[in-house]
Amino acid sequence: MKISLIDNGLDSLKKGYKYLESYERLLGAGATDPERFSALKDSTLSIQHGIEILFKYSLRQRNELLLFNDITKLKTAFRNRREGLINELYEEDGAHTISFKETIERLIDICGLPINERFKKKLLKVESWRNGITHSAVLLNEMEVSNVLGGLLVDLDNFFGPVIGGEYLQGQGRVELDRAYRLTKAVHGELENKVKAQTVERLINALQANKLRNITAPGVFLINNPKVACSILQEIQDTEHGYGCDFINGHCSGKASIKDLGTDGRLTIFTEDNDTYYQFPLGSMLIYIPEINNSLSPLIFLYATGSKPIGTSPYIRDNGNYKVQHGVMYDDSRSVDWSKETRLQYYDDYNSDEPILMSHKEILHFLTAGPVCFLNVGKLDYGSAHRLLDDNNFADASRLYAEFQRYVESQE
């Protein structure tokens, strides 16, 4: 079995941070000292090994001679490699690679790579923990170790992203959205599409504000808690590059704003283009996040739980697949009149030079359970997402989630 230098390093680094996640779960669950130490030990050993291997890979990419203590002892190694007796120079007896500290020094002094004093001290501290674990009984300050290892990940991404490039980005697997965004910028630079960058940043802030993890790009997630869903919707709103909204009844607007989630569970959305309010009892929200480094918009699908008409004389339109109750919202009081008589007066006022009703707007209340609308950023591409809204196969949010999940997995 043979594994490349970079794959070896990436594997150890990824495993090390999985062990760190295990430690954090054990800590939260009140696990015993030996259980926590085991996870933290494995994390430290794997992370240090991964860093060292990737540092040596970075040196080798510049000149493989930089990996060795004494190049005068490599003459036989080069000859034997040419003759196929060995595959790598380090397999030759007497060919010794440099220490971890010397690797850092050569990356700085010979290669001119960006390892500042703060970063270097962290690296050497991790190596000292690794040496203690490997060579003797050790007493670790677990909070210091976990904090340093956790914080070190940003430094490693910022270093290896531009130095190694796409291989490092792909080798991290399906990482959290905020890290995937940071890694994408480290490898490719700032996103050319500034609207996409702002959209991703707002989404990251919304996820963090609601303590949602394990969400990445490309990826999809389903929220069945209306309060959390509404909080995310409000967090991602933006006055400059906001989300537009397409409803199942054919209405659409280039700019929609989430107003509130009432005590009765009804979500209110206002669309500027047609000056209309929409309400429905929010059940589920599905968000599909496309790859970061393109011009595609996130897609947000909102589902209703279904509700009964309001009032004794409702004005309802029924197209067979959904029912919508129409009403009038008065601008001054924000009160709503759902009666059929007032709604018919709305039509008369619309065509009259002398309206009878006070200043008002139309409001629609979706009564049928199922998909109500999808949102996307108007200045980004969104394909033919409306097909999914109209497809009866996706009348249930879990079915649409499964379809997106299959699509995401097919892209890996």
Residue 269 is assigned to a structural domain of this protein: yes
Residue 178 is assigned to a structural domain of this protein: no
Q: pLDDT value at position 353? A: 64
- Looking at the structure, do residues 14 and 153 belong to the same domain, yes or no? yes
- Looking at the structure, do residues 143 and 212 belong to the same domain, yes or no? no
Residue 82 is assigned to a structural domain of this protein: yes
Residue 83 is assigned to a structural domain of this protein: yes
- Looking at the structure, do residues 111 and 161 belong to the same domain, yes or no? yes
- Looking at the structure, do residues 140 and 218 belong to the same domain, yes or no? no
Round to whole Å and give the CA distance between 117 and 408: 41
Domain count, the chain: 2
- Looking at the structure, do residues 91 and 48 belong to the same domain, yes or no? yes
- Looking at the structure, do residues 253 and 377 belong to the same domain, yes or no? yes
Q: pLDDT value at position 95? A: 66
- Looking at the structure, do residues 142 and 21 belong to the same domain, yes or no? yes
Q: pLDDT value at position 242? A: 86
Domain containing 115 — which CATH number?
1.20.120
Q: Dihedral sign, CA of 135, 137, 141, 146?
A: positive
Among 409, 381, 394, smallest CA distance to 301 is for 394
Q: pLDDT value at position 279? A: 96
Read off the amino acid at residue 198: Q
Residue 129 is assigned to a structural domain of this protein: yes
Residue 320 is assigned to a structural domain of this protein: no
Q: Dihedral sign, CA of 148, 151, 152, 153?
A: positive
Question: Is the CB of residue 352 less than 8 Å from the CB of residue 306?
Answer: no
Question: Could you tell me how many helices (H) and strands (E) the chain has, helices first?
Answer: 13, 12
Q: What is the DSSP string of 172-236?
A: T-S--HHHHHHHHHHHH-S-S-HHHHHHHHHHHHHHHHTT--S--SSEEEEE--HHHHHHHHHHT
HSE value, Cβ hemisphere, 13 Å, CA-based, for 375: 23
Among 75, 50, 62, smallest CA distance to 106 is for 62
| Domain limit, last residue, from 138, 173, 208 | 173
Q: pLDDT value at position 89? A: 66
The segments of the chain whose pLDDT lies below 70 read 1-2, 75, 85, 89-92, 94-95, 136-139, 346-357, 412
- Looking at the structure, do residues 167 and 216 belong to the same domain, yes or no? no
- Looking at the structure, do residues 281 and 203 belong to the same domain, yes or no? yes
Name the phi and psi angles at 274, rounded to 5: -115, 10
β-pair partners for 270: 257, 277
Residue 49 is assigned to a structural domain of this protein: yes
- Looking at the structure, do residues 250 and 393 belong to the same domain, yes or no? yes
Q: pLDDT value at position 384? A: 82
Question: Is the CB of residue 149 less than 8 Å from the CB of residue 20?
Answer: yes
Residue 116 is assigned to a structural domain of this protein: yes
Domain containing 257 — which CATH number?
3.40.1570
- Looking at the structure, do residues 161 and 113 belong to the same domain, yes or no? yes
Round to whole Å and give the CA distance between 54 and 9: 5
**SS3 at position 256:** strand
Domain that holds residue 94: 5-173
| Domain limit, last residue, from 139, 173, 207 | 173
- Looking at the structure, do residues 29 and 137 belong to the same domain, yes or no? yes
What is the enclosing helix (H) or strand (E) of 330? strand 323-330
Q: pLDDT value at position 91? A: 64
